[in-house]
């Protein structure tokens, strides 16, 4: 009788171990499935979120580039009005924007009215104070978010309808946008081949 009890005890022990093993395996499988589901969910989320983050970065960086190119265009147009040509380098352009002067003519009276005294007075005003008072002019040549990388600048003349026209072009040499790099279409203002002083974002 005692031998039978021992056999039953051993069988129950092994049965319990089998049950525990099955339960443990079920939990392991469930945990493994949860991990797989979590990983797949993360990868799905990233496949959607990453392009959105990238586009936000493109928008932020291109906005900063456009802002600088727009100011440089204003500087080039003021330079041309003063000197009759565009600057072909940043040394000349930024020096003019920082230290140059603009001639202003003030008219008094009417030259066609003999009853008034007509006169024209000439004044000079600071380019920096009148146009770029809140601008960090020396750093305009650097591409935003690119440390010491400078914009490309060029100037020259073209013939249009038998008339010589000054032209300039300032562009971003290393666009952040992968699409712009692929198409070789960097942000730029002006054109060295056409009398166009607009930006290619306009």
Q: What is the pLDDT of residues 115-158, one digit of tens each?
A: 777 787 888 899 999 999 999 999 999 999 998 999 999 999 99
Q: What is the pLDDT of residue 10?
A: 47
Q: What is the pLDDT of residue 16?
A: 58
Torsion of CA 142, 143, 148, 152, to 10 degrees: -70
Average pLDDT over residues 62-66: 97
pTM recorded for the entire structure: 0.74
Sheet holding 188-190, edge to edge: 152-160, 163-171, 188-190
Per-residue pLDDT at 42 exceeds 70:
no
Per-residue pLDDT at 18 exceeds 50:
yes
Q: What is the pLDDT of residue 150?
A: 98
58 near 177, Cβ under 8 Å? yes
What distance in Å separates the CA atoms of residue 148 and residue 174, rounded to the nearest whole number? 12
- Higher-confidence position of 94 and 102: 94
pLDDT above 90 covers a percentage of the chain that reads 59
CB-based burial label for 182 (10 Å; 0-12, 13-18, 19+):
exposed
What distance in Å separates the CA atoms of residue 170 and residue 183, rounded to the nearest whole number? 18
The string of pLDDT tens digits covering residues 151-194 is: 999 999 999 888 999 999 999 999 999 999 999 999 999 999 99
Q: How far out from the chain centre does Cα 162 lie?
A: 38
- E strands in 17-86: none
What distance in Å separates the CA atoms of residue 196 and residue 41, rounded to the nearest whole number? 50
């Amino acid at each position: 009788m005692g031998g039978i009890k021992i056999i039953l005890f051993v069988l129950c022990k092994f049965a319990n171990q089998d049950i525990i093993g099955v339960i443990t395996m079920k939990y392991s499988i469930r945990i493994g499935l949860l991990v797989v589901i979590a990983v797949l969910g993360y990868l799905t989320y990233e496949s959607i979120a990453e392009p959105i983050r990238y586009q936000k970065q493109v928008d932020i960086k291109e906005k900063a580039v456009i802002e600088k190119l727009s100011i440089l265009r204003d500087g080039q147009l003021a330079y041309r009005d003063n000197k009759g040509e565009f600057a072909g380098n940043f040394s000349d352009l930024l020096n003019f924007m920082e230290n140059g002067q603009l001639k202003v003519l003030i008219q008094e009276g009417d030259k066609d009215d003999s009853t008034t005294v007509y006169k024209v007075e000439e004044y000079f005003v600071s380019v920096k104070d009148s146009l770029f008072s809140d601008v960090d002019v020396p750093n305009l040549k650097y591409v935003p978010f690119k440390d010491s990388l400078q914009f490309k600048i060029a100037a020259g003349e073209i013939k249009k309808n038998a008339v010589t026209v000054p032209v300039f072009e300032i562009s971003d040499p290393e666009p952040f946008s992968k699409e712009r790099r692929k198409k070789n279409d960097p942000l730029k203002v002006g054109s060295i081949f056409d009398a166009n002083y607009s930006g290619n974002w306009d």
